[in-house]
Structure 1
Amino acid sequence: MSAAGWFIVLLALVGANLPFANQRLFAVVPMKAAKKSAWIRIGEMIVLYFIVGAFGFMLEARAGNRFEQGWQFYAITFSLFVVFSFPGFAFQYLVKRR
Protein backbone atom coordinates (compact mmCIF):
# COMPACT_ATOMS: atom_id res chain seq x y z
CA MET A 1 0.00 0.00 0.00
CA SER A 2 1.32 3.43 -0.87
CA ALA A 3 1.80 6.37 1.44
CA ALA A 4 -1.35 8.02 0.04
CA GLY A 5 -3.36 4.92 0.92
CA TRP A 6 -2.12 4.92 4.50
CA PHE A 7 -2.79 8.65 4.72
CA ILE A 8 -6.44 8.09 3.70
CA VAL A 9 -6.80 5.30 6.28
CA LEU A 10 -5.42 7.57 9.03
CA LEU A 11 -7.61 10.45 7.83
CA ALA A 12 -10.65 8.15 7.98
CA LEU A 13 -9.71 7.07 11.50
CA VAL A 14 -9.46 10.68 12.66
CA GLY A 15 -12.59 11.72 10.76
CA ALA A 16 -14.66 8.87 12.19
CA ASN A 17 -13.72 9.77 15.77
CA LEU A 18 -14.04 13.56 15.37
CA PRO A 19 -17.81 13.70 16.12
CA PHE A 20 -17.21 11.97 19.46
CA ALA A 21 -14.15 13.98 20.50
CA ASN A 22 -15.92 17.20 21.52
CA GLN A 23 -19.28 18.96 21.85
CA ARG A 24 -18.79 21.29 18.87
CA LEU A 25 -20.26 20.79 15.41
CA PHE A 26 -17.42 19.54 13.19
CA ALA A 27 -15.05 20.50 16.03
CA VAL A 28 -15.48 24.18 15.08
CA VAL A 29 -19.02 25.52 15.59
CA PRO A 30 -20.17 25.74 19.23
CA MET A 31 -23.54 24.13 19.99
CA LYS A 32 -26.25 25.86 22.04
CA ALA A 33 -27.10 22.63 23.86
CA ALA A 34 -24.75 21.30 26.52
CA LYS A 35 -24.31 17.97 24.70
CA LYS A 36 -24.65 16.97 21.07
CA SER A 37 -27.35 14.42 20.38
CA ALA A 38 -26.55 11.07 18.82
CA TRP A 39 -28.36 12.10 15.62
CA ILE A 40 -26.10 15.11 15.17
CA ARG A 41 -23.06 12.86 15.66
CA ILE A 42 -24.39 10.41 13.05
CA GLY A 43 -24.98 13.29 10.63
CA GLU A 44 -21.44 14.53 11.21
CA MET A 45 -20.09 11.03 10.53
CA ILE A 46 -21.95 10.84 7.22
CA VAL A 47 -20.67 14.25 6.10
CA LEU A 48 -17.12 13.41 7.17
CA TYR A 49 -17.33 10.07 5.30
CA PHE A 50 -18.06 11.96 2.09
CA ILE A 51 -15.29 14.50 2.77
CA VAL A 52 -12.71 11.76 3.36
CA GLY A 53 -14.01 9.90 0.30
CA ALA A 54 -13.70 12.99 -1.90
CA PHE A 55 -10.16 13.52 -0.65
CA GLY A 56 -9.39 9.87 -1.46
CA PHE A 57 -10.78 10.25 -4.98
CA MET A 58 -8.69 13.38 -5.43
CA LEU A 59 -5.52 11.53 -4.43
CA GLU A 60 -6.43 8.58 -6.65
CA ALA A 61 -7.08 10.84 -9.64
CA ARG A 62 -3.83 12.67 -9.01
CA ALA A 63 -1.99 9.33 -9.12
CA GLY A 64 -3.52 8.80 -12.55
CA ASN A 65 -5.44 5.56 -12.03
CA ARG A 66 -8.96 6.40 -10.85
CA PHE A 67 -11.25 3.36 -10.89
CA GLU A 68 -15.04 3.22 -11.06
CA GLN A 69 -16.67 1.79 -7.93
CA GLY A 70 -20.01 0.06 -7.43
CA TRP A 71 -22.39 0.24 -4.49
CA GLN A 72 -20.47 -2.59 -2.77
CA PHE A 73 -17.40 -0.40 -2.41
CA TYR A 74 -19.38 2.36 -0.72
CA ALA A 75 -21.20 -0.07 1.57
CA ILE A 76 -17.92 -1.62 2.71
CA THR A 77 -16.07 1.67 3.16
CA PHE A 78 -18.95 3.21 5.15
CA SER A 79 -19.05 0.09 7.34
CA LEU A 80 -15.30 0.42 7.87
CA PHE A 81 -15.79 4.10 8.74
CA VAL A 82 -18.36 3.11 11.37
CA VAL A 83 -15.96 0.51 12.80
CA PHE A 84 -13.21 3.13 12.91
CA SER A 85 -15.49 5.31 15.05
CA PHE A 86 -15.71 2.75 17.86
CA PRO A 87 -12.91 4.23 20.04
CA GLY A 88 -14.61 7.63 20.05
CA PHE A 89 -18.03 6.07 20.66
CA ALA A 90 -16.70 4.00 23.57
CA PHE A 91 -15.01 7.04 25.10
CA GLN A 92 -18.12 9.23 24.73
CA TYR A 93 -20.85 6.80 25.75
CA LEU A 94 -19.34 3.80 27.55
CA VAL A 95 -16.67 5.32 29.81
CA LYS A 96 -18.13 6.27 33.19
CA ARG A 97 -17.15 9.69 34.44
CA ARG A 98 -17.26 10.78 38.07
Structure 2
Amino acid sequence: MSAAGWFIVLLALVLANVPFLNQRLFALVPVRLSAPTGRKAAKKSAWIRIGELIVLYFVVGALGFMLEARAGNRFDQGWQFYAVTFSLFIVLAFPGFTYQYLVKRR
Protein backbone atom coordinates (compact mmCIF):
# COMPACT_ATOMS: atom_id res chain seq x y z
CA MET A 1 0.00 0.00 0.00
CA SER A 2 1.33 3.43 -0.87
CA ALA A 3 1.91 6.31 1.51
CA ALA A 4 -1.29 8.01 0.32
CA GLY A 5 -3.28 4.90 1.18
CA TRP A 6 -1.86 4.74 4.69
CA PHE A 7 -2.52 8.47 5.08
CA ILE A 8 -6.20 7.96 4.23
CA VAL A 9 -6.50 5.05 6.67
CA LEU A 10 -4.92 7.05 9.53
CA LEU A 11 -7.00 10.11 8.66
CA ALA A 12 -10.15 7.96 8.72
CA LEU A 13 -9.15 6.60 12.14
CA VAL A 14 -8.72 10.10 13.55
CA LEU A 15 -11.80 11.65 11.94
CA ALA A 16 -14.03 8.70 12.88
CA ASN A 17 -13.29 9.39 16.55
CA VAL A 18 -13.62 13.19 16.45
CA PRO A 19 -17.41 13.28 17.10
CA PHE A 20 -17.02 11.22 20.28
CA LEU A 21 -14.00 12.88 21.86
CA ASN A 22 -15.32 16.43 22.32
CA GLN A 23 -18.51 18.45 22.72
CA ARG A 24 -17.88 20.78 19.76
CA LEU A 25 -19.30 20.44 16.28
CA PHE A 26 -16.54 18.95 14.09
CA ALA A 27 -14.12 19.77 16.96
CA LEU A 28 -14.22 23.43 15.93
CA VAL A 29 -17.61 25.07 16.49
CA PRO A 30 -18.95 25.35 20.05
CA VAL A 31 -22.51 24.11 20.31
CA ARG A 32 -24.89 25.74 22.76
CA LEU A 33 -26.40 22.95 24.77
CA SER A 34 -28.55 23.49 27.81
CA ALA A 35 -27.98 21.18 30.75
CA PRO A 36 -31.26 19.85 32.19
CA THR A 37 -30.09 19.89 35.81
CA GLY A 38 -27.70 22.81 35.68
CA ARG A 39 -25.02 20.89 37.58
CA LYS A 40 -23.47 18.80 34.82
CA ALA A 41 -22.24 20.06 31.49
CA ALA A 42 -24.56 19.15 28.64
CA LYS A 43 -23.40 16.69 25.99
CA LYS A 44 -24.06 16.55 22.26
CA SER A 45 -26.92 14.27 21.36
CA ALA A 46 -26.30 10.97 19.61
CA TRP A 47 -28.02 12.34 16.49
CA ILE A 48 -25.52 15.18 16.21
CA ARG A 49 -22.67 12.69 16.58
CA ILE A 50 -24.14 10.43 13.88
CA GLY A 51 -24.53 13.41 11.55
CA GLU A 52 -20.93 14.42 12.16
CA LEU A 53 -19.81 10.86 11.50
CA ILE A 54 -21.59 10.78 8.14
CA VAL A 55 -20.21 14.16 7.06
CA LEU A 56 -16.67 13.18 8.08
CA TYR A 57 -17.00 9.91 6.13
CA PHE A 58 -17.70 11.96 3.00
CA VAL A 59 -14.77 14.28 3.77
CA VAL A 60 -12.37 11.33 3.99
CA GLY A 61 -13.90 9.81 0.84
CA ALA A 62 -13.50 13.04 -1.12
CA LEU A 63 -9.88 13.34 -0.03
CA GLY A 64 -9.29 9.72 -1.03
CA PHE A 65 -10.79 10.30 -4.47
CA MET A 66 -8.67 13.42 -4.87
CA LEU A 67 -5.48 11.51 -4.05
CA GLU A 68 -6.50 8.66 -6.34
CA ALA A 69 -7.23 11.04 -9.23
CA ARG A 70 -3.93 12.80 -8.64
CA ALA A 71 -2.15 9.45 -9.00
CA GLY A 72 -3.89 9.06 -12.37
CA ASN A 73 -5.79 5.83 -11.67
CA ARG A 74 -9.29 6.81 -10.60
CA PHE A 75 -11.59 3.79 -10.68
CA ASP A 76 -15.39 3.70 -10.71
CA GLN A 77 -16.89 2.21 -7.55
CA GLY A 78 -20.17 0.41 -7.03
CA TRP A 79 -22.46 0.49 -4.02
CA GLN A 80 -20.52 -2.41 -2.47
CA PHE A 81 -17.42 -0.24 -2.12
CA TYR A 82 -19.35 2.45 -0.24
CA ALA A 83 -21.08 -0.10 2.00
CA VAL A 84 -17.75 -1.66 2.97
CA THR A 85 -15.91 1.63 3.50
CA PHE A 86 -18.74 3.09 5.60
CA SER A 87 -18.79 -0.08 7.70
CA LEU A 88 -15.03 0.21 8.17
CA PHE A 89 -15.43 3.86 9.15
CA ILE A 90 -17.98 2.83 11.82
CA VAL A 91 -15.58 0.16 13.12
CA LEU A 92 -12.77 2.74 13.28
CA ALA A 93 -15.07 4.93 15.43
CA PHE A 94 -15.37 2.24 18.11
CA PRO A 95 -12.59 3.57 20.42
CA GLY A 96 -14.25 7.00 20.60
CA PHE A 97 -17.69 5.46 21.10
CA THR A 98 -16.32 3.28 23.90
CA TYR A 99 -14.69 6.27 25.59
CA GLN A 100 -17.83 8.41 25.32
CA TYR A 101 -20.54 5.93 26.23
CA LEU A 102 -19.05 2.85 27.89
CA VAL A 103 -16.26 4.17 30.16
CA LYS A 104 -17.57 5.04 33.62
CA ARG A 105 -16.41 8.35 35.00
CA ARG A 106 -16.47 9.33 38.65
Alpha-carbon displacement from aligned partner over 1:22-57 (angstroms, at most 9, x marks no partner) = 000000111111210000000000000000000000
Whole-angstrom distance in 1 between the partners of 2:17 and 2:53: 8
How many residue pairs match? The answer is 98
Identity over aligned residues, as a percent?
83
In structure 2, runs of 5+ residues without a counterpart are 34-41
Root-mean-square deviation (CA, aligned residues, Å) is: 0.4
Whole-angstrom distance in 2 between the partners of 1:31 and 1:93: 19
1:3-18 to 2 correspondences below 5 Å: 3-18=3-18
1:91 Cα deviation from its structure 2 partner: 0.2
Structure 2 partner of 1:92: 100
1:40-55 to 2 correspondences below 5 Å: 40-55=48-63
> Which has the larger share of helix?
1
Structure 2 partner of 1:56: 64
Whole-angstrom distance in 2 between the partners of 1:31 and 1:79: 28
Greater gyration radius: 2
TM-score, L = length of structure 2: 0.92
1:89 Cα deviation from its structure 2 partner: 0.1
TM-score, L = length of structure 1: 0.99
Structure 2 partner of 1:36: 44
Whole-angstrom distance in 1 between the partners of 2:104 and 2:32: 24
Structure 1 partner of 2:23: 23
Structure 1 partner of 2:37: none
